Amino acid sequence: MNDGLDFLCVGAHADDVELGMGGTVAKLSRLGRRGAILDVSDASMGTRGTPAERLSEAREAARILGVERHNLGFRDGFLDSRDTGLRDRFAEFMREHRPRVVFTHPGHDRHPDHEQVCQLVRSAGFLAGLAKYPLEGRPFRPSRIFHWMGARDADPDFCVDVSQDWEVRRKAIEAYVSQFGQEGPATPISGASFRELLESRGRFLGSRIRVRHAEGFVCDELPEVADPCALASAEF
């Protein structure tokens, strides 16, 4: 019997997870948590790179981060959380891999695919737990859904110290040569200014919790604190 994953990160496209929470993935892996990344689309509509290149780069990035990786292969740019084929395929994936915690996009973001994946995680994740919903596998529903911060998010609900894992995050992002290398047409994420933005945001969120680098998350449900004394690692 599959004991399930500790965590699952669900992104619309290859590299979404690395950009949103690559340091947290690396940290959880380093701490011995069993995790995976699920890319929903085939990344076929990207300005740079082919689907085959993106798939190869995604596998290398997952190796660097220390997690498994899967791809549902649905058409990039046309993701629809109401699509029964996509919904049921994702729900069956949830039943098969049984992640305790799921991370995904925020509900409001600049790319429509990101918003659709957020809705997919909510709706199909709920259906996966219904015993009478006709799918393969035993019913299952994750305990928590967290959202990494998007371009439109200002304040996190909590931050994760990723200072020790920032360099691993950087290497995982650099594995996407087709997206961040010097060859190819300019895109909003291909230039040095975007890398500077990533660095400044990591530093800013780190300053919020008195560390060098951090990643922020938002959530609909208030996360519980099992041990308040464990929060006393830095003086404010």
- Give me the mean pLDDT over the 228-235 stretch: 77
How far the first Cα of the chain sits from its last, in Å, is 46
Q: What CATH number matches the domain at 7-220, 3.40.50.170, 3.30.920.30, 3.40.50.10320, 3.60.20.10?
A: 3.40.50.10320
Q: Is the predicted pLDDT of residue 2 greater than 60, yes or no?
A: no
| In 111-223, alpha helices (H) | 112-127, 166-174, 177-180, 192-208
> Domain-by-domain residue ranges, the chain?
7-220
Average pLDDT score, the chain: 92
**Whole-number pLDDT of residue 223:** 84
Where is 158: in which H helix or E strand? Answer: strand 158-161
- Give me the mean pLDDT over the 116-131 stretch: 96
For 134-178, the pLDDT digits (tens) are 998 999 999 999 999 987 777 999 999 999 999 999 999 999 988
For 8-23, the pLDDT digits (tens) are 999 999 999 999 999 9
For 72-85, the pLDDT digits (tens) are 999 999 999 999 99
Asked whether the beta carbons of 24 and 67 are under 8 A apart, the reply is no
Who wins on pLDDT, 118 or 228?
Answer: 118
pLDDT tier, 1 (very low <50, low <70, confident <90, very high otherwise): very low
Three-state DSSP state, 156: coil
> Can you give the three-state secondary structure of 50-112, one letter per residue?
CHHHHHHHHHHHHHHHCCEEEEEEECCCCCCCCCHHHHHHHHHHHHHHCCCEEEECCCCCCCH
**Whole-number pLDDT of residue 148:** 97
Q: How many residues does the chain have?
A: 236
- Give me the mean pLDDT over the 48-76 stretch: 94
